[in-house]
């Protein structure tokens, strides 16, 4: 007999309630998006009272903030794994990793960058996690500037331009707006290369003009 009311609930062990709620919320986020997450529903799934869960998460938004922090930590880890030996290639690879993360974790990505759900300045730990991931891109651009691959423009300006480009590309990709889905990896690399070539150091262009 298949009775949903008798379906086994996840085993709950005293002391790991926050971790279990976090994991269940993460699974829900990945499959259904942040709108499907409810503290009361999570408490029912785990087999505890809603007040027991509210002792660990002040409200639904605080739980979503913790999920977004997990996302930024995962993104930062992937960005840090990019080989920095060749500054120009490192910039391209950073962009590809960023877009790939969004494609693999679309609902995660939407939560992390959805300012409507988690406005900036409300959750300090979340803001710090986001800045830590952003700093990997900033440091990669700084190395490319030092190596002469990018014009000596203000670092924040170049970083903002690069971030805007990969973020826009990632958003278009996960929303299905790119014209040729099969060519997305090549498109991503091509767009990132255009950014680099457009910001190439002046002396390289002058050398080409004089030859």
Cβ atoms < 10 Å from Cβ of 82: 20
pTM of the model: 0.81
Q: How many angstroms separate the Cα of 64 from the Cα of each of 33, 53, 110, 111?
A: 11, 14, 12, 8
Closest CA to 27 of 96, 107, 85, 99: 107
Report how far residue 48's alpha carbon sits from residue 204's, in angstroms, rounded to the nearest whole number: 65
pLDDT at 206 over 70: no
Distance of CA 85 to the CA centre of its chain: 24
Q: Are 58 and 147 spatial neighbours (Cβ–Cβ below 8 Å)?
A: no
Give tens-digit pLDDT for 51-83.
Answer: 888 888 888 999 999 999 999 999 999 999 999
Would you state the structure tokens that stand for residue 184, as one six-digit string?
Answer: 């997305």
DSSP secondary structure string for all residues of 91-107: HHHHHHHHHHHHHHSHH
Start-to-end Cα distance in the chain? 82
Q: Is residue 15 left, alpha or beta, with left meaning phi > 0 and alpha meaning psi from -120 to 50?
A: left
Q: What percent of the chain has pLDDT over 90?
A: 42
Crossing angle (nearest 10°) for helices 60-80 and 87-104: 140
What average pLDDT does range 47-51 have in this prediction? Answer: 86
Categorize the per-residue pLDDT at 179 as very low, low, confident or very high, splitting at 50, 70 and 90.
Answer: low
Residue 208 pLDDT class (50, 70, 90 cuts): very low
């Amino acid at each position: 007999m298949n009775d949903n009311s008798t379906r086994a609930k996840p085993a709950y062990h005293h002391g790991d309630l926050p971790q279990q709620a976090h994991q269940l919320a993460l699974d829900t986020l990945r499959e259904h998006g942040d709108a499907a997450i409810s503290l009361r529903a999570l408490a029912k799934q785990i087999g505890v009272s809603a007040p027991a869960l509210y002792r660990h998460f002040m409200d639904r938004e605080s739980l979503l903030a913790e999920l977004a922090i997990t996302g930024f930590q995962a993104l930062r880890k992937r960005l840090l794994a990019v080989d920095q030996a060749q500054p120009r290639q490192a910039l391209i690879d950073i962009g590809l990793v960023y877009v790939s993360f969004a494609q693999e974790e679309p609902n995660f990505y939407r939560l992390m960058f959805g300012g409507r759900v988690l406005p900036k300045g409300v959750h300090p730990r979340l803001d710090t996690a986001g800045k830590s991931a952003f700093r990997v891109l900033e440091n990669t651009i700084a190395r490319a500037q030092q190596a002469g691959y990018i014009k000596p423009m203000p670092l924040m300006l170049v970083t903002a331009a690069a971030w805007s480009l990969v973020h826009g590309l990632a958003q278009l990709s996960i929303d299905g707006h790119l014209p040729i889905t099969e060519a997305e990896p090549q498109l991503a690399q091509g767009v990132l290369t255009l950014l680099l070539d457009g910001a190439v150091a002046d002396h390289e262009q002058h050398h080409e003009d004089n030859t």
